A = this chain, B = another copy of it.
Amino acid sequence: MRNVTIKEVAQAASVSTATISRVLNKSGYVSEDVRQRVLETVRQLNYRPNAVARNLKRDRTHCVGLILPDMRNPYFMRLAREIQALLSVRNYHILYTDSGADASRERIAINFMLENRIEALVIAGVGENADKLREVQERGIPLILIDRRVEDVHTDIIIDDNKGAAERAVKLLIDKGHRKIGILCGPEGISTADERREGVLNALVRAGLNYADMFWYSGDFSRSSGREAARQMTRLLEPPTAVFSTNNEMTFGLYLGLKELGQPLDFWEVASYGELEFAPLFANRLAYVKQNPEAIGRTAAELVLERIGGSDREEQCSEQIMLTPDIVCM
């Protein structure tokens, strides 16, 4: 069954396409009986307007792009869900891509979205596509960074106080008396990783501890790198007595690693940046930085609507919205 066009509806209802359009968009005047007749014909022919044509004509798509590094991470999905929920109320829809934390896939996704004339882009970027992101801006598309900064891109951003929170988390370990701490870092270049590392350093310095006394593990925010860290740290002659993991997936991996190694899960005092959903089930000796992905999502959605629908003053100031997460001890 081919799709019916507005022209065919017009013919069937013996009115002009303009009238059909007016009825369907509730724009302009149309007499009640004609309106009824049109509506009836629309129903009979099961007419469904072609949004592609409408988008071309109106030069708006009601689509917002969303690019995230991993849709299996509940943190990002809670965030995504919140955005979607809020935008859908205003009849905006999401073109969603999982970049897999891969710069080239991210580029492809941005290009696709550009060609499809998304009206705004929300992205937790891998950090290497500053040029593309600037292009987005130059084309007048509101760009909203979430979770991570991108060097040389200046725009709205919604982000944790990564440094501060990491510092507090590590301080907590130090206050409990730990002097040798395993630090599981994320990939350099990702702003969250860098800032959290800075926070760690701050905490050490303030406590008069030595950088070199810690065990530094450089991971990639993945589960498997957390696992690997566990393996390495248990093998040390003098293993750390506590661990600070800079993201939730690595923390998860750390526990998986301990389990595989036959060690008890409370082998270390652990502090984690980011929550583990299942932590309440078993954890003791665990503290975590409680992020609020829903808040980020909500703020992002509001900002999108503001920027899209907003006034036409060309230069709006870009906002940096910083969230201060709590630290939760189990």
Binding site for B on A (CB under 8 A): 1-3, 46, 48-53, 55-56, 61, 71-72, 74, 77-78, 80-81, 84-85, 88, 93-98, 100, 105, 108, 111-112, 114-117, 135, 138-140, 252, 255-256, 259, 265, 276-278, 280-282
Establish whether residues B280 and A265, one from each chain, have CB atoms under 8 Å apart when the complex forms. Answer: no
A74-B72, A114-B48 known; A94 vs B96 contact (CB < 8 Å): yes
Cross-interface CB contact of A55 among B1, B46, B52, B111, cutoff 8 Å: B52
Establish whether residues B48 and A56, one from each chain, have CB atoms under 8 Å apart when the complex forms. Answer: no
Can you name 14 extra interface pairs (CB under 8 A) apart from A94-B95, A96-B96, A252-B278?
A: A46-B135, A48-B115, A50-B56, A71-B77, A71-B80, A71-B81, A71-B84, A84-B98, A85-B98, A95-B96, A256-B280, A259-B280, A277-B278, A278-B281
Establish whether residues A281 and B280, one from each chain, have CB atoms under 8 Å apart when the complex forms. Answer: no
Cross-interface CB contact of A282 among B94, B111, B265, cutoff 8 Å: B265
Chain B residues, Cβ within 8 Å of A277 = 252, 278
Establish whether residues A53 and B56, one from each chain, have CB atoms under 8 Å apart when the complex forms. Answer: yes
Chain B residues, Cβ within 8 Å of A138 = 1
Closest 4 CB pairs of A and B: A51-B115, A278-B278, A96-B96, A51-B116
Chain B residues, Cβ within 8 Å of A93 = 95, 97, 112
Chain B residues, Cβ within 8 Å of A135 = 46
A173 nearest CB across to chain B (Å): 21
Residue contacts A-B, CB under 8 angstroms, 13 given: A48-B115, A51-B116, A53-B56, A71-B84, A84-B97, A88-B97, A93-B112, A94-B96, A94-B97, A252-B278, A255-B278, A256-B281, A259-B281
Cross-interface CB contact of A81 among B48, B61, B98, cutoff 8 Å: B98
Chain B residue with the shortest CB-CB distance to A135: B46
Chain B residue with the shortest CB-CB distance to A113: B93
Docked complex Cα distance between A80 and B114 (Å)? 23
Chain B residues, Cβ within 8 Å of A78 = 72
Docked complex Cα distance between A110 and B280 (Å)? 38
A78-B72, A84-B98 known; A116 vs B52 contact (CB < 8 Å): yes
Chain B residue with the shortest CB-CB distance to A280: B259
Docked complex Cα distance between A280 and B259 (Å)? 8
A323 nearest CB across to chain B (Å): 20
Docked complex Cα distance between A277 and B252 (Å)? 10
Docked complex Cα distance between A111 and B111 (Å)? 26
Chain B residues, Cβ within 8 Å of A80 = 71
Docked complex Cα distance between A139 and B46 (Å)? 10
Docked complex Cα distance between A77 and B280 (Å)? 23
Docked complex Cα distance between A276 and B281 (Å)? 12
Chain B residues, Cβ within 8 Å of A48 = 111, 114-115, 139
A46 nearest CB across to chain B (Å): 7
Establish whether residues B97 and A1, one from each chain, have CB atoms under 8 Å apart when the complex forms. Answer: no
Chain B residue with the shortest CB-CB distance to A91: B112
A248 nearest CB across to chain B (Å): 12
Chain B residues, Cβ within 8 Å of A280 = 256, 259
Chain B residues, Cβ within 8 Å of A111 = 48
